[in-house]
Structure 1
Amino acid sequence: MSSRKILLSALLMGASFNLFAHGAVTPQSIDTSELPQLGEDWLDENPYRSETGETLTTIIQVGASAYNQNCARCHGLEGISGGIAPDLRLLTPDFDGDEWYGYRVQNGAVRNGAVYMPKMTEHLSQEALWSIKTWLESISEDI
């Protein structure tokens, strides 16, 4: 095998590993100062689901920005999964969907020592994370 083929094979193997594990991805901070503040203790249900009017519009805008900066690289642009990570538009807008979402953002996902998703609560506020879930719920009807 030529050295060129060996190098190409090594590059492809290295690139494919990075598709399945994040390594040192740094979540981006999100300005949530305009959102209703939720406190330190994680809430079991999406507290923004019942908001209306301009408050809801702001929550959805912050959620879309937060998603695009922190989630889209794995879960897909506009929430449309490319198959690497779950399609978050499929989360139900109820306690069950909130429970799964809360578990995952608090605990992340690690398989065989590879970090597939960091513990997002270590990087983003509860307000940012629930605004993401609210945005996802706002686009889930498009499925």
Structure 2
Amino acid sequence: MRRQSLQMAAWAAAALAGWAACALAVAHGDVTPQAVDTHELPSLGESWREQNPFREPEPNQGVAVRIGTSAFNQNCARCHGLEAISGGIAPDLRRLDNDCSVLKDAAKKAACVAENDQYFLTTVRHGRSRNGAVYMPPFEGTLNQEAIWAIKAYLETRREKPM
């Protein structure tokens, strides 16, 4: 009798774990990267920019934020959350530049922002994996640099701590 109870408990735990993994995969939805229409933004050329060219105010920042919002919703929100508010699956991207916002020295703040831009660009282009498991797919080849920097421009409007 006790053996049957243990077997039933083990089976129930395995079924629950399988259900949870399946639910998580379904919650992720279609994780195939989606192309983004960036024809309204100026071409940034073949060489990757080191910093976000759409950070500065107009003429392109408003358009970049609009395109970045759409691109984020199509490609990033399923893991990073609607409006960049993570539900715990992936990092909360409103906090991406938090370390920079508290710096008082302008040169140090600029260096911090540049470093964050590089981290963001590398992560989005090449993705993230650990021990063979893909935690974030690479977007290079699907998203051009205009789309990637537009997403960053959008995320800068979502910052947890203003610059």
TM-aligned CA deviation for residue 140 of structure 1: 1.1
Distance 1:40 1:51, change over 3 A: farther
Pair 1:31 & 2:50 matched: no
Contact 2:95 2:161 in 1 (8 A): no
- Choose which of 21, 31, 35 in structure 2 pairs with 1:14: 21
Pair 1:98 & 2:105 matched: no
Higher Cα Rg, which structure: 2
Pair 1:139 & 2:158 matched: yes
TM-aligned CA deviation for residue 43 of structure 1: 1.1
TM-aligned CA deviation for residue 5 of structure 1: 3.7
Distance 1:13 1:83, change over 3 A: closer
TM-aligned CA deviation for residue 121 of structure 1: 1.4
What secondary structure does 2:44 align onto? coil
TM-aligned CA deviation for residue 25 of structure 1: 2.3
Task: Report what 1:124 is aligned to.
Answer: 143
Contact 2:80 2:86 in 1 (8 A): yes
CA offset digits 1:69-92 (Å, max 9, x no partner): 000011111011112211112222
CA distance in 2, matches of 1:97, 1:80: 19
Task: Report what 1:112 is aligned to.
Answer: 131
Identity among equivalent pairs (%): 47
TM-aligned CA deviation for residue 8 of structure 1: 3.3
Q: Give the alignment's TM-score, normalised by structure 2.
A: 0.73
CA distance in 2, matches of 1:10, 1:82: 20
1:67-86 correspondence to structure 2 within 5 Å = 67-86=72-91
Quick one: which amino acid aligns to residue 116 of structure 1? Y
User: Gaps spanning 5+ residues in structure 1: where?
Assistant: none
Quick one: which amino acid aligns to residue 135 of structure 1? Y
User: Gaps spanning 5+ residues in structure 2: where?
Assistant: 1-7, 101-112
Which 4+ stretches in 1 moved above 6 angstroms?
none
RMSD, aligned CA: 2.8
CA offset digits 1:4-52 (Å, max 9, x no partner): 8477336325327748xx7x82111110000111112211100111141
TM-aligned CA deviation for residue 61 of structure 1: 0.6
Distance 1:14 1:82, change over 3 A: closer
Quick one: which amino acid aligns to residue 63 of structure 2? T
